[in-house]
Chain A
Amino acid sequence: MKSWHLKRRTILKSAGVSVALPWMECMGDETTSDRKKRFFGGYFAYGVPMPADDAEDRLQNGWFPVGTGRDYKAPEMHQCIMPLRDKVTFLSGLSHPSMRTTSAHKGADVFLTGANLLKTYDKQSISIDQSIAQSIGNHTRYRSLVMSSMGGVNRPYRSSTLSFDRSGRPIPALNRPAEIFRRLFGEVTESERNALASRGSIIDEVLDEANSLNLRLGANDRRKLDDYLASVREVEKMTERAKKWQKTPKPKIDSRDMDLEVNANTPREYLAMMYDLLVLAFQTDSTRVATFQTAAEEAGPAEGFPRAIGLPAGAHRLSHEKKDYADVAKYIGFLNQLHADFVGKLDAIQEGDGTLLDNTLCFYGCATSKTHRATNYPIILSGGKNMGFNHGAHLHYQDDVPLANLFVTIANQLGQQTTRFADSTADISEVLTT
C-alpha cells in the first residue's frame, strides 16, 4: 500500500513538473479572465450497500450519509474524501424516471442521457457531457475524452460508454492507457503529419463516394451508410480542429515512471492510471470534458476488480444482498478511494486563484442503489466552486425527482443556457451558492 501511494505521487509530481504550457498561446481568442469550465462524469457499477437505518453497521458499511444538510455523518467508506468535505456534496433520492421500473443493471446507458429507451426502442439521446462539450469543448485540442474499463460501446442496456452524441449514437470509450496517452501527449510522427495534410482530400473523396452510393440505397442500407457518413463528417471536423492545433506542440509528459501497459488484471494500478490520465488531460487543458465508466454492468474485465483488495472476483455477485455488507462496503470503499484520490489530485493543482478542482465539476455515481433498485442513485458531486457550486452537505430528494433536473443546473453553470434536459421538470439550485 505504502509504495503504491508513493508511486502515484511521484507520477503526479513528475507530470506537474514537466508540463510545459505552450497551448496557452494558441488560445488568444479566449480572454484570460474567463475561467476555464470543466466537466467530469464518472460511473461505478452494481449499486451500493444499504444497511437498514437502525442497523449497527449503518455507518460502518453503508453508502448514504446519516442525516441531511451540512451536519451529516459520513460513513466509513467516504472518510477518504472527507479532507475535501467543503468541496463535496452527497446526493440521494434522485433517479431517471424512465428506467425506474426496468430490470436490473441497465442504468449505465442512460446515466448521463436520461433517455427513455423503452419508449424509443433503444434510441439514445445526447449525454450531458457531450451537450456541455458543445459550449465548452471548443477551446481544447480534444472536444472530450471518453473512457471506460471495458472500452468500445458494447450493446444496448449493457453499455460500455457513458457518452452519446447529438444523434444519440454511442461514442466508443477508450480503455488502454498507452493509447490514451499517445492521443493526448504522444509525439506527432512524420506519418501523422502526412496523414493530417492529406486527410482533408481523402475525406472529401470518400464523402463524395458515399454520397453517390447513398442515392442508390434503400432505407435500411441508407441508415447504415448515414452512420458511416456522420462518422466521416465528424472526423472532418476533428481534422479541422487538429489542423488548428498543428502548430501547437502537444504538452510534454514524462512517462518514464508511468506503466502505460498496465491493464485491468491489476485493477488498482489500472484504475489509478486511468484517473491519472484524466488529471493530466485536465491539467494540460487537452480537453475540458471527460467521462469514465469504471465498470460496465456486463460480465467483463471489471468482474475481477474486487481482487485488488483480496476479495474473490465477481463484482456483480458481491453487490447482491447478503446478510453481511462488510465485503461489498470494502469494495465500494476501494473504488471511492480511487475517486477521492482523483478529486484530491485535482484540488492539489493550482489554477488561477484556485485549484483545478474549483474549475472542474465532478459528477460521480451509479444508476442503482441497493441491488437491483433503479431509484435513489448514489451520487457524489464535487468541485466547480468557480462555476457557482456550493458544497459541504448531504442533500436528500424525494424518489420522484428526475436526475435530469440536476443536469439542467449543471448545464447552466457550465455555460449552456437551457431550461430542459431529457425529462427534467425543474432544476436543482440547492447545489449552488446562494
Chain B
Amino acid sequence: MNTPASIACLLTLLILPTKARSDEPDQTEPFNAIVKPFLVKYCNDCHGPDQQKAQLRLDRLDPDPLHGNDAEVWQEVLDLINVSEMPPEDAKLQPTATERQAVADRLTDMMRQALESQRSSGGRNVMRRMTAYEYSNTLRDLLHLDLRFATDLPPEAAAKEGFKNNSSVLGTSALHIEYFERIARRALERIILAPEEQPPEYFVRVEPEQAFPNKPATPTNPKQSKKAKPKTSVSMTLKTNRQTQSSSKKNAGKFVLDHGELTPGGILLAGNRPSDKASDPYTAPRKQGGAGGDGRSGHQPEFRVEMYNVPHDAPVKIRVHCSAVPGAGQTFPRLSCELGSFRGAGVSDQKEAANIEVRSQQPRTYEFSVHGANFPFQSNKPGRPSYFRIFNDYRRGTSSLAYEDLPKLNIDWVEIICNHYPQWPAKPKQSILADALPIENESVAMRQMLTSFMPRAFRRPVSEQEIERKVDLFERLRKQENSFEATTISTLTAVLCSPHFLLISEPETATLSDPGSLEKRRLTDFELASRLSYFLWSSMPDDELFELAKQEKLHDPTTLLAQTRRMLGDPKSKAFSQHFTSQWLDLAGVRRLAVNPEYFSFRETTKDLFEQESIRFVDHVLRNQLSISEFIDSDFAILNPDLARHYRIPGISGGFDVHNLDRKHHRGGLLTQASMLFGNSTGAETHPIRRGVWILERLLDDPPPPPPPNVPDLPEPEPQDESKLSLKERLQAHAQVASCRDCHSKIDPWGVALENYNALGQWREGNVDTNVKPPFQVVSVDPSTKLKNGKTLNHLGDLKNYILTEKRSQFRRAVVSKAMAYGLGRYLELTDRSAVDAICEVVQDHQDRFDIIIEQIVLSEPFLTR
C-alpha cells in the first residue's frame, strides 16, 4: 500500500469516477467554451439576472450535474434546446442549427457522463445476489434435485445494456427473503422427510387390446372409429418391492382416444398439425376433446390416459413403444408427450415432456424421465384428473396432404411410471445424510452434515467456527422442535438464507489485502471458481472446480483454460448460450410484442422458434470454434421445419438442425433472424428506427442518446390512403427538426438497410408483400440508404460488408465488451479498457473465434481480480 505505484493507482481511482472517459475532454472547458456563451447570448434576457421567466435562472446553474443540484434543470434545458422550443420562435435572436447542435451535444455528453459516474463502482466487482435463474440452477446442483425453484420469485429486471446479472439492478427485498426461505424449506422437506421405505411405483400400461377388450382386433373403418370414441377404464398397477398388486379403485383411470385410428398393430396417430394456421394466442387454454377428426378434416388426433390420485410430485418415467409410418416425400412423425391436468370442464393445463422425430419403422422403445413437479400434473381442482397425452407433432404446413400421405405414428404400447426412483434413499437425501449415518448423537450427526453441506453451499471452505455456530443454532432449535428431521430442515434452511449462499463474490476470504481498500486484488481460487461457474453455467461450481480451488491450482493459466474448455463442453454450459444470448440480443422483445392479426396470420408458438433460432445459432458458433463474423453473415442457418416454412425455405424437415443456405434464401447471421427483425418491428410494420437502435446498441456498442420528450411515434400508414407516404418520407417527416435529423441520420440508415424483411422477418421486395394480408400487401421496399459518413448502402449485403470490414474492430470490441460485462456481472468502465483492448488483439489473431473470446475473458485481469 505504501509503494508509489499503489498510491498512483489509488489516485487514479479517486479521480476517475468524475471523469468518465479519458478521450473526452474535461467538462469545464467545453462548458465554458460552448454552453456558457450560448446561454449568455440566447437565454440570459429571459432567464438571467434581470428576468426569470418560468422561475428559471440559468446563469447561476452549477455546471456539474453530478455534484451540483441542477441536474434536472440541465436535462430540461437540453430537451427544450433539442426540440427547438427554446429560444421561443418570437425571440429576436435565433441560434443557427450548428450552434444549437453543438450545445445539445455538449449537454448530452454532460448528462451521460454524470449518469455513468453516478453508476460507477470504480471498475470493481460488487457483491451481488444470485439472479432467479442462477438461484434455481444452484439449488438444483446443490441438492441434486432437478426442479424449477424460482417460479415464485419476482421477475428480474435488466440493466441498461440488457444484462440481468448486473449487480446494480439486483436488489433484494423482503419478499425475496421470504421466498428464499420458503423455497429452501420446501425443498429440504421434500428431501429429508422422504419416507424410509421406497414409495410404491404407480405403473400404468396401455395397449390397444386392453383398451378395446370387446372389439375384435381387425382393421376398423376409420369412419367408424370417428364416431365411436373409445373410452375405457385402464387399471393401474402399484409395484412395491417387485411385488405387483392392482391399485385400488380410487386410482383408476380412463383411456381416451380422440380420433386416432385403431389397427391390429396399434394406434395410428396421423400428424396433421397445421403449422401456419393462425390461432389466437389469447384465447382460453386449449379445450380437450372438442372438435376432432381422424386427420382428414385437419384436426389433431391424440390419445391420452386420464388418471386420478397419481403421485404428481415425484419423478415420472415415460416409455413409448412405437414405430414410424413415413408419409409421402419421406416425411416422418414426431412423438410428442405432454403431462397435464384438467382445471375445469374441458379446460386444461399441460406442458410438453418430450418431442422427438421417430424415423424407425421397426418398433422401438423411447424413454423419457421428468419430474412431475415441473408440470401442471396435479389439478388444483379436486376431482379433476391428471393426464398423459400423446400426439403426432408432424406439421404439414399449409399444404393439404391426403390422409394416406401423412406420416403416422404407430403406437404399440405406452407405460407411465410415477414415483420412479432409480435408487433409494434417493440421491438428494443420500448426499445430505450419508456422512451423518448412522445417527447416534444428534449434534455430532448435524456437525457432519454441515461439514459437507456448508462448503458447497457457501462455495468455499468453511471455518470450524462457522460450523459450530450452525450446530449451536441446531441445538437451540432442537429444544423447541419435536424431531431431529424438523430441526435439520430448519438448520439447513438457515444455511440457504445466509448472505454467504445468496450473495456471490464475497470479499471476506481475502486475507492479505485490506477489504475496504480501493486496490484491486486477485480473487481467491474459490471466488474464481464461482465467477467461472456463474459465467459459463449460471450455477455453482462442481466438485472438480472445488477440488482445483482447494489445491490452489485454478489461477494457473493452463488449468484455467483447460477448465474453461471442459465447462464449455458440459451440457450445463447451455445456460451460457441461453442467458447470454437472450440478454445480449434482447430476445425477450419477441414476447413483449404482439403480432397484429390484421396484418398477419401467425401462430403464437412460432415466437418460441424465433428465440430458439438465435440461442441455438450463438450456441453453434461457440461450440464449433466459429468466428463472430458469423453473427453478421453466415452461410448456414439453424432451422426446424416450422421456422423454415416461416422463412419460406422449402425442403426442411426434422427438428432444429444446421442447414446450408443458398443466396436465394436471403438468410445468414443475426440480422436476418426473426427474433431481431420482429422484436424491433411494430408487430405490423417494420420499424427502421428500432432496428437501427438495436444494431447500434447490441452489435456496435454505440447506443444513441435517448429521445427528447414528447416525440410522437412514426405515424402508421392508412391502407385506404391514396396519397400514402413512403417509409422514407415518413422517416423524413419524423426528423423535420434539425436536431432530430442529426440524431436520426445516425440511426435510421442502419434500419433502412433491413427493409427487405417485413415485420415478421420474412423476405419481401418490390411493391407487393404477399406474406401480409390484404389490404396491407402493397409496399414500396427500398433498402438503399446512406450512412451519416456518406457511405452508400444498397441493401443488407452492403451493410454486412461494411460492418465486417470498416466496422470490424468496433463490432469485435462490442462482442468482447458484452460478453465481459456478462461475465463480470457489472458495467464495464474505463479501467477495463486495456483488458478489452488486449483481448481484441488476441482474438483478431484467432480469426475472431467466439470461443477464444470467452477463454480470453476468463484469462483477463478484470476476470481474475476484484
Task: Output the nearest chain A residue to B502 by Cβ-Cβ distance.
Answer: A228
**Interfacial chain B residues near A160, Cβ < 8 Å:** 155
Contact of B774 with A by CB under 8 A = no
Q: A152-B154, A153-B171, A213-B500 are in contact. Are A314 and B682 (CB under 8 A)?
A: yes
Contact across chains for A228 and B711 when beta carbons are under 8 A apart: no
Count of chain A residues with Cβ under 8 Å from any Cβ of B? 78
Contact across chains for B343 and A228 when beta carbons are under 8 A apart: no
Tell me, in angstroms, the Cα distance from A171 to B171 when the chains sit together: 10
Q: A198-B481, A198-B490, A312-B598 are in contact. Are A228 and B499 (CB under 8 A)?
A: yes
Contact across chains for A98 and B127 when beta carbons are under 8 A apart: no
B515 touches which of A217, A234, A320, A372 (Cβ 8 Å): A217
What sequence of 0s and 1s flags, for each residue 477-509 of chain B, a beta carbon within 8 Å of any chain A beta carbon? Answer: 100110000100110011001111011001110
Q: A202-B181, A209-B499 are in contact. Are A197 and B154 (CB under 8 A)?
A: no
**Interfacial chain A residues near B499, Cβ < 8 Å:** 206, 209-210, 213, 225, 228
A205 touches which of B129, B284, B381, B473 (Cβ 8 Å): B473
Of B39-47, B118-126, B210-218, B312-320, the one contacting chain A is B118-126
**Interfacial chain B residues near A320, Cβ < 8 Å:** 712-713
**What distance in Å separates the Cβ of A21 from its nearest Cβ neighbour in chain B?**
26
**Interfacial chain B residues near A217, Cβ < 8 Å:** 127, 507-508, 515-516
Q: Which of A148-169 contact B (CB under 8 A)?
A: 150-155, 160, 169
Contact across chains for A372 and B490 when beta carbons are under 8 A apart: no
Tell me, in angstroms, the Cα distance from A308 to B284 when the chains sit together: 11
Task: Output the nearest chain A residue to B118 by Cβ-Cβ distance.
Answer: A121
Tell me, in angstroms, the Cα distance from A172 to B470 when the chains sit together: 31
Contact of A430 with B by CB under 8 A = no
Q: A104-B711, A202-B497, A314-B683 are in contact. Are A261 and B592 (CB under 8 A)?
A: no
Contact across chains for A218 and B171 when beta carbons are under 8 A apart: no
**Interfacial chain B residues near A259, Cβ < 8 Å:** 343-344
Contact across chains for A201 and B476 when beta carbons are under 8 A apart: yes
What sequence of 0s and 1s flags, for each residue 248-264 of chain A, a beta carbon within 8 Å of any chain B beta carbon? Answer: 00000000100111000
**Interfacial chain A residues near B72, Cβ < 8 Å:** 98, 116, 118-119
B500 touches which of A118, A209, A265, A304 (Cβ 8 Å): A209
**Interfacial chain A residues near B593, Cβ < 8 Å:** 299, 303, 314
**Interfacial chain A residues near B517, Cβ < 8 Å:** 218
What sequence of 0s and 1s flags, for each residue 161-199 of chain A, a beta carbon within 8 Å of any chain B beta carbon? Answer: 000000001111100001100000000000100110111
Contact of A103 with B by CB under 8 A = yes
Contact of A22 with B by CB under 8 A = no
**What distance in Å separates the Cβ of B851 from its nearest Cβ neighbour in chain A?**
31
Contact of A371 with B by CB under 8 A = yes
Q: Which of B512-569 contact A (CB under 8 A)?
A: 515-518
Task: Output the nearest chain A residue to B501 by Cβ-Cβ distance.
Answer: A206
Q: Which of B407-454 contact A (CB under 8 A)?
A: none
Contact of B79 with A by CB under 8 A = yes
**Interfacial chain B residues near A206, Cβ < 8 Å:** 494, 497-499
Tell me, in angstroms, the Cα distance from A173 to B189 when the chains sit together: 27
Count of chain B residues with Cβ under 8 Å from any Cβ of A? 93
**Interfacial chain B residues near A213, Cβ < 8 Å:** 499-500, 506, 508
Contact across chains for B181 and A197 when beta carbons are under 8 A apart: no
Contact across chains for B126 and A118 when beta carbons are under 8 A apart: no
**Interfacial chain B residues near A304, Cβ < 8 Å:** 281-282, 594
**Interfacial chain A residues near B481, Cβ < 8 Å:** 194, 197-198
Tell me, in angstroms, the Cα distance from A160 to B158 when the chains sit together: 13
Tell me, in angstroms, the Cα distance from A260 to B379 when the chains sit together: 12
What sequence of 0s and 1s flags, for each residue 278-322 of chain A, a beta carbon within 8 Å of any chain B beta carbon? Answer: 000000000000000000001110011001100011100100111
Contact of A220 with B by CB under 8 A = yes
Of B360-368, B392-400, B702-710, the one contacting chain A is B702-710
Among all A-B residue pairs, the 6 with the closest Cβ atoms? A313-B594, A299-B592, A152-B154, A118-B72, A234-B174, A172-B154
Q: A151-B155, A194-B489 are in contact. List 19 more A-B contacts (CB 8 A).
A: A103-B709, A119-B72, A170-B171, A198-B480, A198-B490, A199-B181, A205-B469, A205-B498, A206-B494, A220-B124, A224-B127, A224-B503, A227-B171, A235-B177, A313-B594, A314-B683, A322-B716, A372-B712, A374-B709
Chain A contacts to B: CB under 8 angstroms: 98, 101-104, 116, 118-119, 121, 150-155, 160, 169-173, 178-179, 191, 194-195, 197-199, 201-202, 205-206, 208-210, 213, 216-221, 223-225, 227-228, 231-232, 234-235, 238, 256, 259-261, 265-267, 298-300, 303-304, 307-308, 312-314, 317, 320-322, 371-374
